[in-house]
Amino acid sequence: MRILGVDPGLTRCGLGTIEASPTRQVTLVDMRVARSSPTMAPHKRLLMIADELEEVITTFKPQVIAVERVFAQANVRSVTGTAQVAGIVMLAAARHDLPLGLHTPSEVKAAVTGSGRADKAQVQKMVQRILGMETLPRPADAADSLAIAITQAWRGGAQSLSAQPDRTQHGGADTLPRATGSDLTPAQKLWASAERLSSRHGAVAPGYHKHERNEP
């Protein structure tokens, strides 16, 4: 399954595409960052990012799009821009009739590092390891978008636009079966040990083991 992970942002928007096998092995397909300058008009910035996103979708044909769920932070202005970009990514998923997954930053960190409070460097390091990349994925926005795609591959929870009736869409469904038994890939072993670690330390965000809920 081809997954596009998006780390939304107005100045830098990470776009990471991976391929996930039925056994949950993940490989890198493409990694890029759409950029727009703060000197540009805001709607023109959104258009630049929307155009680059469109190119990624038509070139790599993802079957699901996963986006970081935006929450309010200290900087209100940056949150607004981030939410606007998240909105255009979600709209693109809907226009292409693709299922959408939403994951909070702490869910993503927990999925790839085992801790919901991991820093950017830890996330970069684990993304490099999980995808078997020769160098660290840079910039951090690109690494984050890949981490979001990996979270989608391992945790699922995408909401389908057309396959499910509206009323049952809240629960979502894992897009890939959970790995069990002894035939684990290295990435799965990393994941399993991260999961053990995180439940032991209680570092995983509340609701992390539950399916995503996407109420307004």
Active-site residue set: 7, 68, 141
State in angstroms the smallest separation of the CB of 114 from its own copies: 27
State in angstroms the smallest separation of the CB of 175 from its own copies: 14
Is residue 18 classed as helix, strand or coil in its secondary structure?
strand
Is residue 158 classed as helix, strand or coil in its secondary structure?
strand
State in angstroms the smallest separation of the CB of 12 from its own copies: 11
Residues found near its own copies in the complex (CB under 8 A): 10-11, 37-47, 50, 70-72, 76-81, 83-88, 90-91, 93-95, 100, 102, 159-161, 166-167, 169-170, 214-216
Closer of 38 and 181 to its own copies (Cβ): 38
Closer of 164 and 185 to its own copies (Cβ): 164
Closer of 166 and 183 to its own copies (Cβ): 166
Closer of 83 and 133 to its own copies (Cβ): 83
Cβ atoms of 122 and 54 within 8 Å: the answer is no
Closer of 11 and 63 to its own copies (Cβ): 11
Cβ atoms of 83 and 70 within 8 Å: the answer is yes
Tokens found for residue 151: 């979270």
State in angstroms the smallest separation of the CB of 188 from its own copies: 29
CA 143 → CA 63, 81, 133, distances in Å?
Answer: 20, 20, 11
Residue 73: count other Cβ atoms within 10 Å of its Cβ: 10
Cβ atoms of 13 and 67 within 8 Å: the answer is no
* Helix or strand run (H / E) with residue 187: helix 186-201
Q: Which amino acid is at 2?
A: R
Q: Which amino acid is at 206?
A: P
State in angstroms the smallest separation of the CB of 135 from its own copies: 30
Tokens found for residue 32: 């890029």
CA 139 → CA 48, 103, 130, 167, distances in Å?
Answer: 19, 20, 17, 39
Tokens found for residue 75: 């900087």
